[in-house]
Structure 1
Amino acid sequence: MNRLRLLAMATVLTFAIGAAAQQTPTSPDAHTVAVAPVEQHLRILSDKLSLTADQQNKARPILQEMHDGSQKLEDDQSLTPDQRHEGMVPVFIKADKALREILTEDQKKKLDEMEAQMHGGPHDHPHGSTAPPQGN
């Protein structure tokens, strides 16, 4: 699979996690903080893609598994940064594939557009669709 497409997909998912982390209010409750990135990632995707309550319930465990997998790799100090990055690719691919299974065609197009915006233009998507050119 094209590395550029994988990077685009991973960046969109990572961007949503990063944006969620920036919005996390400071809280002394460790359990709230530990769950917050997944819930905020879900909230961002819900807002951007207009997810239904059922889709949110299905997306939550997908995002949790992605978060847990990427965190495990990030915490593994025996890996080089390149090895961590390579290890995260299948984690992101699995999450993207699972999320796309619960999205409508319009939501998939919006996700493709989000990926294109993250990279300044359209890219082939690993699932066969392409984002429309910017400015149309």
Structure 2
Amino acid sequence: MDQRISFVTLAVADLDASRAFYRDGLGWTVALDVPGDVVMIEVGAHVVLSLWARAAFEAEVGPIADGPGVAPFTLAHNVATPEEVDAALATARAAGADPVHPAAAREWGGYSGYFADPDGYRWEVAYNPGPIGSKVLP
């Protein structure tokens, strides 16, 4: 099996709200839109973010475990400078994102902050000055 991820799929409560957030709010381009079912957005070379209506997700994958707290993972959008972190977080806030944590200098040497999309999925916007950081930039 090749070492790669092809899709990141998020089950969403309101597909129209998620489409509006990512497409209209963040300005991302939708690659496939099946109303009431799924919205797919190319987010990198050979990587697609799939926003799947919760009912359709559960029908194929199985019941979603609900409970207090947040999902135990984050999505990340890395940028080349701390200023780009601030700009991306401002764009997300303007799109209606919950500004979970403001950007701050991190003990690992970078600068990052977090926002939540309409379903509460946490996105980190990060500047990582280390060697791994440059691997994920376009």
Q: TM-score, normalised by structure 2?
A: 0.33
Alignment TM-score, normalising by the size of structure 1: 0.33
More helix as a share of residues: 1
The structure whose residues are more often strand, as a share, is 2
